[in-house]
A and B are shown apart, each in its own frame.
Chain A
Amino acid sequence: MTRRIAVELNGILVEAEVEPRLLLSDFIRHGAGLHGTHVGCEQGVCGACTVQLEGEPVRSCLLLAVQADGRSLRTVEGLAPAEGLHPVQAAFQERHALQCGFCTPGFLMTIDAFLRDRPDPSEEEIREALAGNLCRCTGYRGIIEAVELAAERLRRA
């Protein structure tokens, strides 16, 4: 048994026949072939699979693909410009906010949405906003600094 879904994925309409049990994360990765969204735990804890659903960060391993039917999704592939880097991505590079990079797309999608809501966050607010994403490599400080740097640049832009 499958269901037909239509999702606006990074601005492009994607239609597919999916099993009702198919996770949104698996649909994005294997159905739509967008490998930038990573699966780290499938338990809703690590945040590596974070994408934006109607602009809000969600864990795509905790949603079914059918729940995204008729809605818009944005993944890390939709964050980066065709050339170069988004301001949050550039700040990540400058502040060495990534090492293995596996958790990075989830952080980026969380932070992009966060800075839209809170363009001038305190360090405390940044830490709270990041607390739903796990990074095992960096120890987080570079990520916190990257958010501060990106926020400052986005405010000036």
Chain B
Amino acid sequence: MSGGAWVGRAVPRREDARFLRGEATYLDDVELPGLLEAAFVRSPFAHARLGAVEARAARALPGVAAVLTAADLDAAPLPVGAIEGATVADAGHPVLARDAVRYAGEPVALVLAETRALAEDAAERVDAEYEPLAPVLDPRTAAGAPPVHEHVPDNALVRWSRRHGDVDAAFAAADTVVAQSFHIPRLVAAPIEPRGAIARHDPGTDVLTVWCSAQDPHRPLAQLGSSLGRERDRLRVIVPDVGGAFGSKGAVGVEVAAVAAAAVVLGLPLRWTEDRTENFLSAYQGRGLDADVELALAADGRILGLRAALFADLGAYLYATTPVAPHTTAMLLGGTYLIPAVSVEVVGAATTKVPTGPYRGAGRPEAALLIERMVDVAARELGLDPIQVRRRNFVPPEAFPYETPLGWTYDSGSFERCLDAALELGSHASLVEERDRARAEGRVAGVGVGMYVERAAGLWESADLRLEPDGRVVVRTGSSPHGQGHETTFAQIAADELGVDPEAVEVVWGDSGEVPPGVGTFASRSVAMGGSALVVAARELKQRAEAAGLSLAELVAAEGGAEASARFSSGLVFASGAYLAAVEIERATGRLRILSLAAVDDSGRIVNPLLAEGQVLGATVQGLGQCLVEEAVHDEEGQLRTASFADYSLLTAAELPPIASRFVETPSPLNPLGAKGIGEGGAIATPAAVANAVADALAPFGVRHVDPPFTEAKLWRLLQGDPL
């Protein structure tokens, strides 16, 4: 363990001044001479054969440089990612549609003009022939629907299953079996800065430079390299300041590949700045999962077995990360519990909707919702206290490292301690008293808890460290910020390791020409992986100094500066936690009020409590949005009905409930910082806790389960006794 003056301190962010003064440089702020602006012609149909694309009228407009279709671009579909043990179809997203369109909003042609307004004018004059086909919307019935891709006749883009233990025997021996079906709707990540890219090709060096609003440069580099057939030394990706991502800027969008390919064809610098409507229609969405889950229990509440069938609404194509979320859901279905026999099957269905991909939590919120709701359903069925049922089934502290029946190894955890902390922080006993008092007065109130386990980190990350003779420390990291505060936390880590002030530390990130190869920022992995790589590099420098019998400062002076590079690898680490929610439902309107939330997260060692709490609050409010208002709705023709912030609401400051946050610190044994992950817990556990509180509130009305979001209309109908 490293230990020093800075790690663990709640210091404000060093990077804030440029954001507060309006001096940050986001994608649309990058200025290059001669930039042309892009607009896309997008399919108005969810599913259609694509005929001729007629662009003469568009090309004839003054100020229009080019209108390009699939035939004009030398670009393969974006690469499809593999998942261990899964069958994954070859259904990569074509950069521009060819012969068919498979979701409303799919890019068909690319228009380049002197201004965005001119490009949009021209896009409206492009005339494409469409022969509409039947949309495929429901992942449960997709197998019997017309194929979205001819070579995938059963519409199963991903198949995965795992079985451990004698599941049939566990169910046969059970005193009680509970079964429940779920529908978890699609969500939109909705960073306030939409996506975008700038591409410039230098014909002299044949280097293509792509500025990209992305979570890191590494994945755009790999994915664009694959699509465009470009080696790393002919491609440079620069990530500027990024206005939020939440998973949605991890895999590179086809629009980025289209603009990059077009820049090579045209020999001109190009910019695409996504607008909000495009972001709703065409950025990959999150969640989108139907599930049937069964739990087998003994009369005392011990869980004997779990059986689940998951039907993921993957959409029309597979981005590199599309299969990840349902696989993560499946692997985490056991949650914080010892379940000896488990069987899970996943079908990732092709539908004629925009693809799905990671959105904050990425499979973990679905897993938490499923298992935590099942525990509450089972407890009610057995007439037991849901908290006691949890205690009876927790993986105990002495079991770590604990290999689950599904095959992941939880590195560390203190699940019961987290639960106790949440019950204390949220004053559980008095919440229950208040609920009972409210009920006695005829009001509708409920209390619920949600546990979670979060797969985080894993793979490897890089750091280059240089100590300058003038005292500056330069850290080049493979991790990449989009709001998290790397320039502060990484400086704190370096300061402790090297015995310097954080102000002396410059953190360089985002430019593939400047930083070492890396994996990137996702899955709450930056501190555990990138931070640990920095620790390893610093310790290597210290060892070198020690071996030479010098202090670090003497080594730097003697060598005119000192450098070290490190790659840090580790297995997965598992953050965890417990959330407690109290709710009341207005009887006359069905309106759900969140009375309070208590959030306890075990993210291992915390580098900066101020920033860590910021992550918890932000993620929790996103989780609340999923409970209250957020749902991407497609109509029966496959058109997205929620394609603006007017139709797809985000919570505002006016709706913020009281949220209390506390950390339990069970250090991970897998990295020198003892860190796990902090970015997603709130989005993972909040829906589970609130769903349990809502079900608790509605139990006196004979309601066992409600799917999110818990809208007024839905809850009001349930209060009237209408089945949904």
CA A73 – CA B489 in complex, angstroms?
37
Is the C-beta of B60 less than 8 angstroms from some C-beta in chain A?
no
Known: A93-B12, A93-B16. A139 touches B656 (CB 8 A): yes
CA A105 – CA B22 in complex, angstroms?
6
Known: A98-B20, A108-B20. A140 touches B653 (CB 8 A): yes
CA A144 – CA B659 in complex, angstroms?
13
Q: Interface code B110-127, partner A: CB below 8 Å = 1, 0 otherwise?
A: 000000010000000000
Q: Interface code A32-46, partner B: CB below 8 Å = 1, 0 otherwise?
A: 001111111111011
Q: Are B19 and A136 in contact (CB under 8 A)?
A: no
Q: Which residue of B lies closest to A108 (CB)?
A: B20
CB distance from B632 to the nearest CB of A (A): 15
Q: Are A35 and B16 in contact (CB under 8 A)?
A: no
Is the C-beta of B652 less than 8 angstroms from some C-beta in chain A?
yes
Please report which residues of chain A, range 79-136, place their CB below 8 angstroms from some CB of chain B when the two chains form the complex: 79-80, 85, 89, 92-94, 96, 98-105, 108, 126-128, 130-136
CA A77 – CA B193 in complex, angstroms?
19
A102 in complex: contacting residue of B16, B193, B614, CB < 8 Å? B193
Q: Are B276 and A98 in contact (CB under 8 A)?
A: no
Q: Which residue of A lies closest to B29 (CB)?
A: A35
A37 in complex: contacting residue of B12, B21, B22, B482, CB < 8 Å? B22
CA A140 – CA B25 in complex, angstroms?
23
Q: Are A96 and B192 in contact (CB under 8 A)?
A: no
* Complex interface: chain A residues within 8 A of B24 (CB): 101
Q: Interface code A45-82, partner B: CB below 8 Å = 1, 0 otherwise?
A: 11010000000000000000000000000011101100
A101 in complex: contacting residue of B28, B241, B651, B682, CB < 8 Å? B241
Known: A127-B654, A134-B645. A96 touches B191 (CB 8 A): no
Binds A, one of B371-379, B406-414, B531-539, B617-625: B617-625
Q: Which residue of A lies closest to B194 (CB)?
A: A40
CA A21 – CA B610 in complex, angstroms?
44
CA A135 – CA B617 in complex, angstroms?
12
* Complex interface: chain B residues within 8 A of A127 (CB): 653-654, 656
Q: Are B275 and A131 in contact (CB under 8 A)?
A: no
A35 in complex: contacting residue of B25, B192, B245, CB < 8 Å? B25
CA A76 – CA B24 in complex, angstroms?
12
Q: Are B484 and A99 in contact (CB under 8 A)?
A: yes
A41 in complex: contacting residue of B13, B244, B645, B656, CB < 8 Å? B645
Most buried by B among A37, A39, A100, A142: A100
Is the C-beta of B242 less than 8 angstroms from some C-beta in chain A?
yes
CA A56 – CA B619 in complex, angstroms?
32
CB distance from B127 to the nearest CB of A (A): 23
* Complex interface: chain A residues within 8 A of B29 (CB): 29, 35
CA A100 – CA B26 in complex, angstroms?
10
CA A40 – CA B194 in complex, angstroms?
7
Q: Are B191 and A99 in contact (CB under 8 A)?
A: no
* Complex interface: chain A residues within 8 A of B617 (CB): 138-139, 141-142
Is the C-beta of B644 less than 8 angstroms from some C-beta in chain A?
yes
For chain A, which range describes its interface: under 10, 10 to 19, 20 to 34, or 35 or more residues?
35 or more
CB distance from A5 to the nearest CB of B (A): 17
Q: Are B28 and A134 in contact (CB under 8 A)?
A: no
CB distance from A148 to the nearest CB of B (A): 12
Q: Are B618 and A137 in contact (CB under 8 A)?
A: yes
Is the C-beta of A143 less than 8 angstroms from some C-beta in chain B?
yes
Q: Are A130 and B653 in contact (CB under 8 A)?
A: yes
Q: Are A29 and B28 in contact (CB under 8 A)?
A: yes
Known: A21-B117, A45-B644, A46-B192. A96 touches B611 (CB 8 A): yes
Q: Are A96 and B13 in contact (CB under 8 A)?
A: yes
Is the C-beta of B547 less than 8 angstroms from some C-beta in chain A?
no
Known: A39-B28, A134-B652, A144-B656. A85 touches B20 (CB 8 A): yes
A131 in complex: contacting residue of B245, B482, B613, B654, CB < 8 Å? B654
Known: A43-B645, A101-B483, A140-B652. A85 touches B21 (CB 8 A): yes
CA A102 – CA B246 in complex, angstroms?
14
Given contacts A42-B275, A100-B242, A136-B618, 17 further A-B contacts (CB under 8 A): A21-B117, A40-B193, A40-B194, A77-B22, A79-B22, A80-B20, A80-B22, A101-B483, A102-B193, A102-B244, A103-B243, A105-B22, A130-B653, A131-B654, A134-B645, A136-B650, A137-B244
* A interface list, Cβ under 8 A from B: 19, 21-22, 29, 34-43, 45-46, 48, 75-77, 79-80, 85, 89, 92-94, 96, 98-105, 108, 126-128, 130-144
> Can you list 27 pairs linking A and B with CB atoms under 8 Å apart?
A22-B117, A29-B28, A35-B29, A36-B23, A38-B26, A38-B192, A38-B243, A43-B645, A45-B646, A96-B12, A96-B611, A98-B16, A98-B19, A99-B484, A100-B241, A100-B242, A102-B26, A108-B20, A131-B652, A137-B244, A137-B483, A138-B618, A139-B617, A139-B618, A140-B621, A141-B656, A144-B653
